Amino acid sequence: MEQLTLRHSVTVADLETNLRDQRSAHGTALDRQEQDNERVVRHLKSEHEKKIKDADADHKAMIQALTTSQEEERNRLIGQLLVNQDNIQEWPDEKLKAKFLELQCIVGSIGSPQREELKFPQDIPVGPDLDPTGFFDRNKRGRGHFLVKRAVWAILCEHFFSVPFGFGVLGPENTQNELLSNFQEWRRLCRIGGPSQTEDAVDLTVFENDDLANRWRTISFRSIQDSGTVNLRSPIHELRAKNAASSTARIMQYLSAVASLTQHSINISVEDEVRKATQLAEEIALQFGVHPSKLLLRTADETWNGDPAPGLLKIGRDKNNTPTAQTVVPCKGSSDK
């Protein structure tokens, strides 16, 4: 009996040992399998993330290539438009915008805050001749470059855009009266409006809604534009040249007065940019006369303390003859932008 009990105890102990060994082996195999699974999952996850990253990089590269290609094509077409467009014809909106933004860029360069000679000193009073709107009553001297730009724009606007429908290109004086008298005589000869109107003075409001008057205007300004390149001795060209020279001289006088506050002089490159700005402003102003729509500058509010660059607005009429306004170039400082 004792031997049976002993044998039974040995057998149970062997079974328990075998069971522990099997459990241990099973646990080891399970751990190894889990580790293998984790390695496979990590590898698959890494491969998946790499594929996603590569696909994302390829997508971004494709988008960048398409964007670059589209931008290059757009610039090519705009450049082709600017070169091939007959200046005697009206400019399309894209060219008007490109030219006006170019003018903004030139004026911005003239009044750049990096120009030491155009910085206003802290300890010297600035009179109304340099600050007619009291800009420094509202701003620190460090923002003086905005005042310089405002002054340049004010002179350009006065010399080229102060009179609507393109007449400003001949200067701020009443030089448009002679052209208007020619229109009045032309209208009388064509018997437009009846005899009673021929005795009344004609003003610029006639171009607000008179289609025939606007046809006369666009044709006349095409001739004016053509006369400036063909006949350099024409009275029209002399008026334009006088106005451009006066504008350049006034801008240079203002800039020199600012520079003198710190005992500086104006760099010759600035004078070149002033001439470019004047020439470009004249080209744009001529388009105000050539274009059948009414083009206007939208200027910044007087209390605006940021970039004073004006915007460009086109007034036209829809198919129902209702006036419409289209912003060609926005003005940052306008309350109704």
Q: What is the pLDDT of residues 283-318, one digit of tens each?
A: 999 999 999 999 999 988 877 888 899 999 999 887
Domain borders along the chain are 1-80, 103-170+208-329
**Contact 117/265 with Cβ under 8 angstroms?**
yes
User: Which residues are registered as beta bridge partners of 315?
Assistant: 294, 325
Residue with tokens 């063909």: 230
pTM higher than the cut 0.85: no
216-249 per-residue burial string, b: 16 or more CB within 10 A, e: under 16: bbbebbbebbebbeeeeeeebbebbeebbebbbe
pLDDT tens per residue across span 44-98: 888 778 877 877 777 677 667 766 766 665 555 455 444 444 455 789 999 999 9
**Amino acid present at 283:** E
- Percent of the chain topping pLDDT 70: 78
Mean model confidence pLDDT for the chain: 81
Handedness of CA 268, 274, 276, 278 (dihedral sign): negative
Q: In this predicted structure, what is the pLDDT of residue 328?
A: 95
**Contact 172/155 with Cβ under 8 angstroms?**
no
Distance CA 103, CA 84 (A): 20
Residue 300 phi/psi, 5-degree rounding, is -70, 150
Nearest to 309, CA basis, from 77, 119, 74, 150: 150
Q: In this predicted structure, what is the pLDDT of residue 82?
A: 45
Long-range residue pairs from 205-211, CB within 8 A, at least 24 positions apart, any chain: 207/164, 207/165, 207/294, 208/294
Q: In this predicted structure, what is the pLDDT of residue 270?
A: 95
What torsion, rounded to 10 degrees, do the Cα atoms 81, 83, 89, 93 define? 40
Q: In this predicted structure, what is the pLDDT of residue 80?
A: 47
pLDDT tens per residue across span 235-291: 777 888 899 999 999 999 999 999 999 999 999 999 999 999 999 999 999 999 999
Distance CA 317, CA 295 (A): 13
**Contact 150/277 with Cβ under 8 angstroms?**
no
Q: In this predicted structure, what is the pLDDT of residue 36?
A: 79
